[in-house]
A and B are shown apart, each in its own frame.
Chain A
């Protein structure tokens, strides 16, 4: 079901967390709120859930104005960064919580919990306490708990932020597959642009309480709306007035038209990719991304003088 946030403002004392924010989330989509810390992305998510009250503006869920509703009455599923597991309850009771306070029959609750635990691959761990689970397992329990009440929308606040890189990558992929099966409208908050690009259909880039751009992952990378998006999404070099991605720089050993001179500071081998760190005239740093084969052919050495030429550059007026 769709979410629509209109002209929302929220201050904490002198700090402006949300500055006239409007966002539309389409039914069945997976949308990422992406931004650095303090950009207001978590506050926006909490406003949608009713965990924060906006100073002004409206929130609609499934075309119903829920601005004045308490979280209790919004029927959203919320997943917390630090899991918010009910420590004194078993995995089963955690997942069953939403149903048990709705006084559903015992058998119905048990069947539903079993089904959800299977879905999040925690079947067999129903009698454990959260302290006996790993971080990734706790978060999957949190997800099952949120899904148990058939929420209108699923809201995830940096859900994988507290996990190590490998588990994070795995859960990311798994979340994407889960969404493809359930089609629950989902909003995920993240500060990790790679995570946003990987899981989301649509990315809302936020900065200093404002929305900078709303676009699909490809558009966001290829057509950033401004310098902030350009620099925040993917790495980028400043070449005089233009912005150039590290893979849009051609590196040659001989000078040529439009090429500028630079010295190699470091060659970093990252498997398939090789990152070459350079300095230009006044000491401005520059990074070039090459494939391993291309780097081997050039036989790059530290201290060597090379020439770089942008093949694609972006300028903002």
Chain B
């Protein structure tokens, strides 16, 4: 094919090429009317006040409580070997649960969106069950099946495996429910285009589908991880709470607080809080990167 040079450019190129602007309307600040500006200020005020009372002040109080006895005590409380062991365990089981659900949650979402089968609506409803259940009930559910009196003889009670199973149970909905809508919206023409260009099914998934649903997966994984870090109800019954073995941070905090060491409990709580916040920030950054083409 010969790319002959043509003097006549298609006219629609010109305005775009000359200004370098994306074709997206953007309302400038000066266009807002004063009443609109007042309404914006008012709603912003409400949001700030609500967030302050409900979120920011309690967190500040917690940090205050953890430091009440001075910085050295804070580090002592945090670096207590039992606290460190609990924290390590918490993070590792949360990572495992989040990653396993990233894979299986995506597969379940895929099947629910792309496949037709009998009982699909029942499965769909079942996904939300862990959301709806009080987590202590979730703990009992897991204990009944994987505990000492397991009907299948699978007894993993008081082990780390049990903690991961309980976390998988309560965090399952997150990835499924964030990936599902993205898959429904996914432009099937893109997949067909890739196929007609010679891509096999695996390539279509890796190069077309996965990059499109990755932001959804990341959101789901983050929420699952944050939830797993703080989970107590589902874990407390089946883990046995053995210090250095199956005691997670949330249980540690609970026991410390009950045992007359609120400052120690607060110190570890602040660490958990910081981890959650850092993860949220980091994933926000990754998500922005993964969807940069939308804002470009």
B217 to chain A, nearest CB (A): 14
Q: Which chain A residue lies CB-closest to B214?
A: A88
Q: Are A78 and B196 in contact (CB under 8 A)?
A: yes
On whether A119 and B199 interact (CB within 8 A), knowing A124-B17, A134-B16, A137-B16, the answer reads: no
On whether A86 and B190 interact (CB within 8 A), knowing A51-B196, A72-B198, A147-B1, the answer reads: yes
On whether A119 and B3 interact (CB within 8 A), knowing A78-B192, A88-B293, the answer reads: yes
Query: Which positions 169-202 of chain B face chain A at CB distance < 8 Å?
Result: 187, 189-190, 192-200
Which of the segments A95-103, A231-239, A253-261 contacts the partner chain? Answer: A95-103
Q: Which chain B residue lies CB-closest to A83?
A: B189
Q: Are A71 and B2 in contact (CB under 8 A)?
A: no
B123 to chain A, nearest CB (A): 25
A262 to chain B, nearest CB (A): 42
Residues of B contacting A148 in the complex (Cβ-Cβ under 8 angstroms): 197
Which of the segments B148-156, B205-213, B218-226, B267-275 contacts the partner chain? Answer: B205-213
Chain A CB within 8 A of B12 CB:
yes
Which of the segments A55-63, A125-133, A269-277 contacts the partner chain? Answer: A125-133
Chain B CB within 8 A of A35 CB:
no
Q: Are A137 and B296 in contact (CB under 8 A)?
A: no
From the candidates B4, B6, B12, name the one contacting A137 in the complex (CB within 8 A).
B12
Query: Which positions 129-150 of chain A face chain B at CB distance < 8 Å?
Result: 129-134, 136-137, 140, 142, 145-149
On whether A78 and B193 interact (CB within 8 A), knowing A72-B199, A88-B293, A118-B3, the answer reads: yes
Mark A195-206 against chain B: 1 for CB-CB distance below 8 A, else 0.
000000000000
Q: Are B198 and A101 in contact (CB under 8 A)?
A: yes
Residues of B contacting A89 in the complex (Cβ-Cβ under 8 angstroms): 293
Residues of A contacting B115 in the complex (Cβ-Cβ under 8 angstroms): none
Q: Are A84 and B192 in contact (CB under 8 A)?
A: yes
Mark A100-111 against chain B: 1 for CB-CB distance below 8 A, else 0.
011000000000
CA distance A51 to B190 in the complex (A): 12
CA distance A154 to B11 in the complex (A): 25
- Interface band, chain B: 35 or more
Residues of A contacting B190 in the complex (Cβ-Cβ under 8 angstroms): 84-87
Chain B CB within 8 A of A80 CB:
yes
Residues of A contacting B194 in the complex (Cβ-Cβ under 8 angstroms): 86, 97
Chain A CB within 8 A of B36 CB:
no
Residues of A contacting B4 in the complex (Cβ-Cβ under 8 angstroms): 181
Chain B CB within 8 A of A5 CB:
no
Residues of A contacting B293 in the complex (Cβ-Cβ under 8 angstroms): 87-89, 129-131
From the candidates A50, A129, A149, A181, name the one contacting B296 in the complex (CB within 8 A).
A129
CA distance A141 to B61 in the complex (A): 57
From the candidates B16, B199, B207, B294, name the one contacting A131 in the complex (CB within 8 A).
B294
A143 to chain B, nearest CB (A): 12
Chain A CB within 8 A of B76 CB:
no
Q: Are B212 and A97 in contact (CB under 8 A)?
A: no
Mark A68-94 against chain B: 1 for CB-CB distance below 8 A, else 0.
001111111110101111111100000
CA distance A137 to B12 in the complex (A): 8
Q: Are B3 and A88 in contact (CB under 8 A)?
A: no
Chain B CB within 8 A of A115 CB:
yes
Chain A CB within 8 A of B203 CB:
yes
Chain B CB within 8 A of A194 CB:
no
Residues of A contacting B1 in the complex (Cβ-Cβ under 8 angstroms): 115, 119, 147, 181-182, 184
B197 to chain A, nearest CB (A): 4
- In the complex, which of the residues B11, B17, B193, B197 has the most CB atoms of chain A within 10 Å of its own CB atom? B197
B200 to chain A, nearest CB (A): 6
Q: Are A98 and B197 in contact (CB under 8 A)?
A: yes
Q: Are B212 and A171 in contact (CB under 8 A)?
A: no
Residues of B contacting A133 in the complex (Cβ-Cβ under 8 angstroms): 16, 23
CA distance A142 to B11 in the complex (A): 19
Residues of A contacting B192 in the complex (Cβ-Cβ under 8 angstroms): 51, 71, 78, 80, 84
On whether A77 and B207 interact (CB within 8 A), knowing A86-B190, A131-B22, the answer reads: no
Mark B246-267 against chain A: 1 for CB-CB distance below 8 A, else 0.
0000000000000000000000
Chain B CB within 8 A of A313 CB:
no
Residues of B contacting A167 in the complex (Cβ-Cβ under 8 angstroms): 10, 12
Chain B CB within 8 A of A49 CB:
yes
Residues of A contacting B198 in the complex (Cβ-Cβ under 8 angstroms): 72-73, 75, 98, 101-102, 149
From the candidates B2, B3, B12, name the one contacting A134 in the complex (CB within 8 A).
B12
A295 to chain B, nearest CB (A): 32
Query: Which positions 118-172 of chain B face chain A at CB distance < 8 Å?
Result: none
- The 8 closest A-B CB pairs, nearest first, are A84-B189, A98-B197, A84-B193, A78-B196, A129-B293, A129-B296, A119-B3, A71-B195
Interface set of B (CB-CB < 8 Å, partner A): 1-4, 6, 9-13, 16-17, 22-24, 187, 189-190, 192-200, 203, 207-208, 211-212, 293-294, 296
